């Protein structure tokens, strides 16, 4: 059986299958079944979706960890946002990555979609001249159950997007 072990700090937030969980004490947990989850800096709150690439990430995040309804709305929003981004960019590589991200999300591989969206955020930050601090503030990529052990020691707590707490429109 595949398991994933995570260490979370006191006060950290984790969203598992759409349910937010805040850890009151430092905890070590073991996921023994497949689950949709994000934790710490992987979670982008709505107020940080302040650029086209970040709005794409937020929409894909909703498609990954939201409720059934939010997941559907997240995919629709991601399609629209990706189409608009592709119209505005001159980067063929960015367009290819966005196509791959949307294909991954539609195939229910949101881990890969979020990973590609993170690369688009870095590209956008470089083009717009955003500072490296802002670009790496939430640079962690979501994990999924792969049968490996993972430590959470290098991640900082982040503000979660709570299901139903405002999503892509």
pTM: 0.73
Average per-residue pLDDT for the chain:
78
State the CB neighbour count (10 A cutoff) for residue 38.
Answer: 26
- With a pLDDT cut of 90, the percent of the chain lying above it is 48
The residues near 167 (Cβ < 8 Å, ≥ 6 apart) are: 46, 58, 59, 62, 66, 70, 73, 74, 77, 161
Q: What is the pLDDT of residue 132?
A: 55
19-72 confidence digits (pLDDT tens)? 888 999 998 988 888 888 888 788 899 999 999 999 999 999 999 988 888 899
């Amino acid at each position: 059986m595949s398991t994933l072990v995570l260490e979370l700090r006191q006060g950290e937030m984790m969203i598992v299958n759409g349910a937010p969980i805040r850890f009151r004490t430092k905890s070590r947990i073991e996921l023994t079944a497949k689950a949709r989850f994000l934790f710490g800096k992987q979670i982008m709150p709505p107020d940080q979706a302040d650029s086209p690439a970040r709005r794409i990430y937020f929409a894909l995040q909703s498609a990954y960890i939201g409720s059934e309804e939010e997941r559907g709305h997240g995919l629709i929003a991601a399609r629209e946002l990706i189409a608009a981004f592709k119209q505005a960019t001159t980067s063929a590589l960015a367009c290819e990555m966005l196509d791959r991200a949307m294909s991954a999300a539609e195939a229910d591989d949101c881990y890969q979609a979020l990973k590609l969206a993170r690369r688009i955020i870095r590209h956008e930050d470089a083009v717009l001249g955003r500072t490296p601090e802002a670009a790496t503030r939430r640079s962690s990529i979501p994990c999924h159950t792969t049968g490996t052990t993972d430590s959470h020691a290098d991640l900082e707590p982040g503000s979660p997007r709570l299901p139903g707490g405002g999503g892509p429109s």
